Chains A and B, each alone.
Chain A
Amino acid sequence: MAGNASVPSQGSTGPEGMAPGRRRFITIALGAIATVIAGIIGVPLAGFFALPALKRLPRRWLEVGSVSAFAGGEIKKVLAKPLTTQVWPQATPPVAIYVLNQGGEKFTLFHIHCTHVGCPVQWNIQANRFFSPCHGGVFDKDGRVLAGPPPRPLDRYEYKIENGTLYAGRVYTVNEQLEFVRWQHA
């Protein structure tokens, strides 16, 4: 609608009655001001929003229980207690972990979320398998995929033993050969 060609233009004045150079200058100046304002407000807010979720977490150990509580070769579901930290939230709710004692002080600690879309897997002691209730994922005692859609074996926790107590640490993913692939959330 604007910019009708029939409007007479005088010399270097455009249809708005402004010199084109002046109009360009004001456009650039306004654009620059808007960009700087957006940056001053936007960059801190973006960091405020996203960085806490992305930053490498301080390793928080979870107290799983006394090593002697785990019979060799059996899988036990444990509610591990996160050790309190100096930073809010100091105390966090317990975390469920499937603990497999592979004899002596050798353990495998499984994350309870199915690796497909995260439904909680259930250990079935008779069948000697983990079953996911959502899309038919089945895992064996070592967390390998036996059937269904999960793309990788069950995720695991690193662990340490101190004074006869078992602690769980960060979560990592493994490949089909059950070898370490990467820290899941690092």
Chain B
Amino acid sequence: MAACMKNLLDWLQERIGTQEQLTHLLYRRLPEGTTWWHTLGSATLLLILVQTVTGFFLAFYYVPSPDHAYESLKYIEDEIPFGAFVRGLHHWGASLTVVVAFLHLLRVFMMGAYKYPRELSWVVGGVLFLLILLFGFTGYLLPWDQKAYWATVVGTHVAESAPLIGEYIWRILQGGVDVSVQTLGRFYTAHVLILPAILYFFILVHLSLVIYQGIAPTPKGALGRIGKEDYTRVYEASKAKGETFFEHLLRDGIVSFLLLLILVWMAATWQVPLEEPADPTSTGYVPRPEWYFYWLFELLWLFPGKWTPVATFYIPLAAVLILLLLPFYDRTSGRSPLKRPVASGVALLALVAIAFLTYQGATAPTPPKAGGTISNEAKALPPELAKGQEIYEAQGCPACHVLKGSGSPAGPDLTRIGAKRDAEWLKRFMKEPTTVMPGAVMPPYTELPEDELAAIAKYLAALK
């Protein structure tokens, strides 16, 4: 047996140079101080492989047509053994991939690993991250449920607001003037054929670069600042003291394994949401994007009207350029984040902004539903206030105002408005907002009868 094995190895050695390949790949030396943080890249790769394999299998049953997509997904969920689990792996795996890829990006940033001579590894990595987001965008149309349909309507409208060519992009994305059978075909093809081909090509380039240049030195102590001219000498010296990739592979393996356990736990215990089938004619639905696009959806609040393209086009474009071109404008020799305060400052600012907007999106008040959401409380109100509450909801006030965590935050939160304004002021304001408060943007409620205005004002004034 052993002899047979040896024969096989010898045979391979003669033909593909196994020994040299292994030495080159597995036993290459890493710089000293390689950490657990260095496992995030391989963890991302593992998650992408899981997405690929689960995607293959989902494609056996999924049918990309508006007539069958939703039903075929239901079939996967309800009838196929392990169907809900496999879909769960793919669904939660997508979110996990975004998280882990982003952490990997942060690690590389913190350690200054984008600096000479790894500028291109950074650019390619940035492209890979954007591709992962595109996978998310194209993937969530496929279930063809309400969330899928309306998120795509909003997503393609966002593309439409780009200057000059926006409408062409919008039409080409949709394959026509509506989100329709053509759109589903396009998104499906992009998701399962085109994007994977591009993704794997760039992964290949990314990995080749890692092997060609080696892992970047951990910027500790003297390695916190390395000039370009000293680089080769310092790096080789550091490698002489480091471990081999084979040894580091154990850390990679442990992290990937734990991550996989987390994913399996998520898929096994968390129900993947599937809403009602897509209905392009429904007017009661409130579109919400997937959590990793909350920042964009929230950004729209800050740039109304003709400023919309700032949020939908210019800021995302600037963010992509700032991200991809980082190694070309941060050319300092400092590798430790403390030794390049400008880059670290900008990154921290971006991080805080993204975290803040995502948090805003995640904790957004429950949107107003037709028929009212706080009606249960109305029963507890004295009759004269209940009337005001009823009119408040009937008049659509929750469409712009949050009250006790329900409504839309376009205008001021009214939960404690009574502590600030009395009924008389509120009544005058609702009738003629700009007279009472110049610059107010609330549309006037002039046609509303006096007694109804008074009832709303009384109800609001009682909220303290």
Contacts and interface: CB of A to CB of B under 8 A. Distances in A.
Interface of A: 49-50, 52-54, 57, 77, 79, 89, 92-96, 112-113, 116-124, 126-129, 131-136, 138, 140, 146-151, 171, 184-185
A113 B411 CA distance: 21
Given A116-B300, A126-B395, A133-B408, A54 B172 contact: yes
A167 to B, nearest CB: 17
B395 A133 contact: no
Q: Mostly helix, strand, loop or mixed at chain A's interface?
A: loop
Contact of A146 (B174, B182, B284, B443): B443
Interface in B54-94: 66
B245 to A, nearest CB: 23
Nearest to A132: B399
A132 B283 CA distance: 9
A117 B158 contact: yes
Contacts of A118: 153-154, 156-157
B396 A149 contact: no
Contacts of A131: 396, 399-400
B291 interface: no
Nearest to B168: A54
A129 B301 contact: no
A135 B301 contact: yes
Interface in B269-328: 280-287, 297, 300-301, 303-306, 308, 312
B51 interface: no
Contacts of A49: 172
Contact of B308 (A92, A113, A122, A151): A151
Contact of B396 (A95, A113, A127): A127
20 contacts: A53-B172, A79-B281, A112-B283, A116-B300, A116-B308, A117-B157, A117-B158, A117-B312, A118-B156, A120-B285, A124-B394, A126-B391, A126-B396, A132-B399, A133-B368, A134-B286, A136-B400, A147-B443, A149-B300, A149-B308
Q: Mostly helix, strand, loop or mixed at chain B's interface?
A: loop
B410 A136 contact: yes
Contact of B154 (A77, A117, A140): A117
A81 to B, nearest CB: 11
A138 B157 CA distance: 18
Contacts of B360: none
Given A96-B281, A117-B154, A128-B447, 10 more contacts: A52-B182, A53-B171, A54-B172, A93-B280, A117-B300, A120-B150, A147-B410, A147-B441, A171-B177, A185-B167
Contact of B281 (A94, A122, A151): A94
Given A116-B308, A136-B411, A89 B181 contact: yes
Contacts of A126: 391, 394-396
Given A96-B283, A119-B150, A133-B408, A147 B442 contact: yes
B117 interface: no
B381 interface: no
A57, A118, A129 — which one has the most chain B CB atoms within 10 A of its CB? Answer: A118
B22 interface: no
B125 interface: no
Nearest to B171: A53
B286 A133 contact: yes
A77, A113, A150 — which one has the most chain B CB atoms within 10 A of its CB? Answer: A113
A161 to B, nearest CB: 22
Contacts of B301: 135, 149
A150 B367 CA distance: 18
Contacts of A92: 180
A53 B281 contact: no
A52 B181 CA distance: 13
Nearest to B300: A135
B341 interface: no
B370 interface: yes
A63 to B, nearest CB: 14
Contacts of A95: 280-281
B168, B368, B400 — which one has the most chain A CB atoms within 10 A of its CB? Answer: B400
B196 interface: no
A185 B113 CA distance: 47
B286 A57 contact: no
B176 A119 contact: no
Contact of A119 (B281, B286, B306, B391): B286
A54 B172 CA distance: 7
B224 interface: no
Given A117-B157, A118-B157, A136-B400, A96 B411 contact: no
Contacts of B242: none
A140 B181 CA distance: 33
A151 B154 contact: no
B315 to A, nearest CB: 15
A117 B170 CA distance: 12
Contacts of B305: 149-151
Nearest to B179: A118
B18 to A, nearest CB: 26
B175 interface: yes
Contacts of B394: 124, 126-127
- In the complex, the 10 A-B pairs of residues with the closest C-beta atoms, listed nearest first: A136-B410, A149-B304, A96-B281, A146-B443, A118-B157, A131-B399, A185-B177, A133-B286, A127-B396, A126-B394
A96 B441 CA distance: 30
Contacts of A121: 283
A54 B180 CA distance: 15
